[in-house]
Every structure is written in structure tokens, then in C-alpha cells.
Amino acid sequence: MTTMDDVVAAETVLSRVDGEGGRLVVHGHDLEDLVAGHGFEATAALLWGAVDPGLGDARAVARALGAARVSVFERVPAILAATAGLAPIDVLRAGVAALAADDDRGAVVLATAAMPVLLAATARRDRGLDPVAPDPALGQVADLLGMLGGTPTEPARVQALERYLVTVADHGMNASTFAARVIAATGSDPVSAVTGAIGALKGPLHGGAPGPVLDMLDAVGAPADAGTWIASALDRGQRLMGFGHRIYRTRDPRADVLKAALAELAPRDPARTALAEAVERAARDALATRHPGRRLDTNVEFYTALLLEAVGIERALFTPMFAVGRVIGWTAHVLEQRATGRLIRPKARYVGPVPVGDDFRAAANG
Ligand code: ACO
């Protein structure tokens, strides 16, 4: 089967994923140091500034994001009216698609600011509540939780969510980032690229896994039942959400960063922790036994699910929450692709029928 696994589709200064070593470096910072030393705005400034120095100042980025959240909020009634009945991730896709900015910088900031505003507004709508206006003086993460809950949020929850969002900000040439770069490479605009990236993110093999991780924990029920439940799920040919990765041949380093953030936030729920640990152990053991030649370990989504649950985020918001963080990477890659890249146009190997009497080769590419 033809795959693109070993194809290098771009040169990037943004992040490097070492799948063998289980290491993620984001523009010169090991993930653990990035998360310890950078909040949301500083991470955006780091990645955007790596490509466009005009976006490299964290304070200026914070001000621009605050102002852009206010401007997106003015459009919320129209966006909610046009997206009645859609799932939150689809509201994000449609809402972002409806935005426009004068230039690339403006579009990058606007698309990034739109994520928390749209996520909070759609979550409140689904609870039968009016949207809460953003506070441009707050950081993006505190403002997101404020817009969601309608009240100021404890700093520990803001910090835990911020660690998650920074952890997932960028990750090499993942599927949604590649989708964004393909769109940007045609000369299209950043809003279109982010819209396409959201579509790629929503699939269960990419950003849609954390909700099903909690469904799995609920279905297992008790730590003692983890082994039996996992074995029967695998016997039915089911994939275990939160395990395995296309690139990592060892543990996903993001899982440990999130596990540590979770431990700081939620020592208060030992029963949930015990269940999660039992499921993780049973899943790793069963996958190792069934796939001895292919190391399948915990990925970022397993601890994402537990962390977001502990922060108080409902399951329907898990995938859009991923977009709130990953939009930093998408937009940085879009800027990079537009600055340095060329049209991305791979080939397909034709294996269909050839015209009768024609010598057009089945292997012809194009
Ligand atoms: N549960 C059960 N079996 C699995 C799993 C899993 N989570 N992951 C891989 N396998 C199996 C495959 O079915 C395959 O079996 P086969 O050889 O008998 O056909 C074998 O292990 C090898 O699979 P890979 O080639 O390593 O898997 P691939 O690289 O195609 O898939 C993926 C990677 C999509 C992430 C996969 O591991 C998966 O479906 N995981 C569950 C979904 C998930 O957690 N997604 C989030 C990924 S992280 C992110 O995108 C942010």
C-alpha cells in the first residue's frame, strides 16, 4: 500500500517530533520546559514570531487577542443563528469560516481569538444560556473559562487548562496541520486554512478521541473489570481510544506532561484516578501482547480526557478545546508555508481500469 509516512512535506522551524525517542521540541524548547515557562500568549508569540517577528511580542499578542475576541463576539448572534443544531466543533468550523480580516496577521489573530469565543457561546447555547461577553483584559485561557462559566475561575483550573493548550499547540506535520498547509500553499488565506484544519481535526483518529476515552472509562466501570473489558473490546476489533500513534514508537511525551498537570489539579478524585490507571495498564499490556512488533502506548488523548474532565469541561467540547490550542500551530504553519513554501501537489498511483485497446499504463502517476 502506498503511504506518505516517510514523505517530508515541508521544512519547518516550528516543532520537531522524535517518534523513536519520545521527545517533542517546540521552536527550541523541550515540551516540558515550554509548558513550565510559557502561557498561551507566550506560546503564540514564540511560534508566530518564529515566522513573523511582528507577531513575536507576547504582550502585544495578548492585547491583539483580547481585542479580536471582542470583535468576534459581536458576530456571535449571527453565527449561532446560522448554526442551530450543529455540534460545537461544527459551530467552530462554520463560525471561523464566516470571519474575514484585512491581512494575514489580522486573520491569524482573529481565527485564534475566535476559538474560545465560539466554543463558550455554543456551549452556553446548548445549556440554554446566553453568551457571556469576553473580557479583553484577561488572558485567553482565563477569559475562555470565564465566558464558559459566567464567573471568574479558580487559578488552578486556568493553569491546568493553559498547560493542556500549550501542550497541544504544535506537533509537527499532523493531519490537521498538513491540511492547513496544503490550503495555504495554494495562496489561499489563513481563515480558509484554519477552516479546513478544523475539518481534519474532528475525525476520531485525530482530535476526536478524548470524548470516547471517557466513554471507555464509564463502560469499564471498576478497576477490577479493566482487563476483561479491554480484552473483549480488542476481540471485537475495536481500537482503544487514547492509545497508539502514527509517529511515536514509545510513550507520547505529552501524556506525561498532562498526567503531571492532572495530578496537581485533581488529587481530589482518587477513585477516578484508580480507574484510569487500571484501564491504562490493562490497555498497554493487552496491546503489547497482541502487537509485539509494534509498540502501542498511551497517547496525548488519554490524559487530555482526564484533565479536561477535571477542569470541568463537558465531553462535547473536548475536540473544539483541542482546536483552541492547536490553532496556534495551524496559523504558525500557515504563515510559514506562505513565506517559504510552494504548492503542495503529490501524485496518486492510478490502479483503475485502462481504456480497452489502450496501452495507458495502470501505474501512470499524476
Ligand atoms: N487500539 C487497538 N489496536 C490498535 C490501536 C488502538 N488504539 N492502535 C493501533 N492498533 C493496531 C492496528 O489496528 C494495527 O493492527 P493490525 O496490524 O492487526 O492491522 C496495528 O495496531 C498497528 O497499527 P498502526 O499502523 O500503528 O496504527 P496507525 O499508525 O495506522 O494508527 C492511530 C495510529 C490512528 C492513532 C491508531 O493508533 C488509533 O486508531 N488510535 C486510537 C485513536 C486515538 O487515540 N487517536 C488519537 C491519536 S493522537 C492525535 O491525533 C492527537
Which ligand 1 atom is at minimum distance from the Cα of 238? Answer: 2
Query: Would you say the CB of residue 294 lies under 6 angstroms from ligand 1?
Result: yes
**Residues 56 and 143 both lie in one domain:** yes
Cα 246 to middle of ligand 1, angstroms: 7
Which ligand 1 atom is at minimum distance from the Cα of 242? Answer: 44
CA distance 181 to 345: 11
Cα 243 to middle of ligand 1, angstroms: 7
H-helix or E-strand spanning residue 240: none
The backbone torsions φ and ψ at residue 86, rounded to the nearest 5 degrees and listed phi first, read: -80, 150
Pick from 268, 292, 311: which residue ends a domain? 311
Which of the following is catalytic: 206, 245, 280, 336?
245
**Residues 319 and 305 both lie in one domain:** no
Query: Would you say the CB of residue 302 lies under 6 angstroms from ligand 1?
Result: no
**Residues 64 and 88 both lie in one domain:** yes
Cα 290 to middle of ligand 1, angstroms: 13
Asked if residue 70 lies in contact with residue 136, where contact means CB atoms within 8 angstroms, the answer is yes
Which ligand 1 atom is at minimum distance from the Cα of 234? Answer: 2
Mutate to test the pocket of ligand 1, among 251, 295, 296 (most ligand atoms within 8 A of CB): 296
Find the CATH number of the domain harbouring 220: 1.10.230.10
pLDDT at 364: 59
Residues of the chain with pLDDT under 50: none
Residue 299 maps to a domain: yes
Residue 146 maps to a domain: yes
Query: Would you say the CB of residue 295 lies under 6 angstroms from ligand 1?
Result: no
Asked if residue 283 lies in contact with residue 251, where contact means CB atoms within 8 angstroms, the answer is no
Residue 298 domain boundaries:
210-311
Query: Would you say the CB of residue 168 lies under 6 angstroms from ligand 1?
Result: no
The residue contributing the CA closest to ligand 1 atom 34 is 205
pTM metric for this prediction: 0.94
Query: Would you say the CB of residue 242 lies under 6 angstroms from ligand 1?
Result: yes
Which ligand 1 atom is at minimum distance from the Cα of 300? Answer: 48
**Residues 70 and 196 both lie in one domain:** yes
Residue 8 maps to a domain: no
Query: What's the pLDDT tens digit per position in 216-232?
Result: 999 999 999 999 999 99
Residue 2 maps to a domain: no
Number of domains the chain is built from: 2
Can you name the residues that pair with 17 across neighbouring β-strands? 24
The residue contributing the CA closest to ligand 1 atom 8 is 244
Active site annotation includes 11: no
Residue 263 maps to a domain: yes
Query: Would you say the CB of residue 243 lies under 6 angstroms from ligand 1?
Result: yes
CA distance 242 to 38: 26
Mutate to test the pocket of ligand 1, among 24, 239, 308 (most ligand atoms within 8 A of CB): 239
Find the CATH number of the domain harbouring 323: 1.10.580.10
CA distance 251 to 249: 7
How many Cβ atoms are within 10 Å of 134's Cβ, its own excluded? 27
Spatial neighbors of 360 by CB under 8 A, at least 6 apart, are 354
**Residues 142 and 60 both lie in one domain:** yes
**Residues 34 and 170 both lie in one domain:** yes
pLDDT at 363: 56
Cα 244 to middle of ligand 1, angstroms: 5
**Residues 148 and 182 both lie in one domain:** yes
pLDDT at 337: 96
pLDDT at 207: 86
Burial profile 159-186: b = 16 or more Cβ within 10 angstroms, e = fewer: bbbbbbbbbbbbbbbbebbbbbbbbbbe
Residue 178 maps to a domain: yes
The residue contributing the CA closest to ligand 1 atom 3 is 239
DSSP per position, 251-263: --HHHHHHHHHHH
**Residues 237 and 192 both lie in one domain:** no
The residue contributing the CA closest to ligand 1 atom 45 is 205
Would you tell me the crossing angle of helices 253-265 and 155-167 to the nearest 10 degrees? 180
Which of the following is catalytic: 280, 301, 309, 336?
301
**Residues 325 and 291 both lie in one domain:** no
Active site annotation includes 162: no
Q: Helix, strand, or coil here: 202? A: coil
Which ligand 1 atom is at minimum distance from the Cα of 171? Answer: 51
Query: Would you say the CB of residue 206 lies under 6 angstroms from ligand 1?
Result: yes
**Residues 52 and 186 both lie in one domain:** yes
Cα 169 to middle of ligand 1, angstroms: 22
**Residues 47 and 124 both lie in one domain:** yes
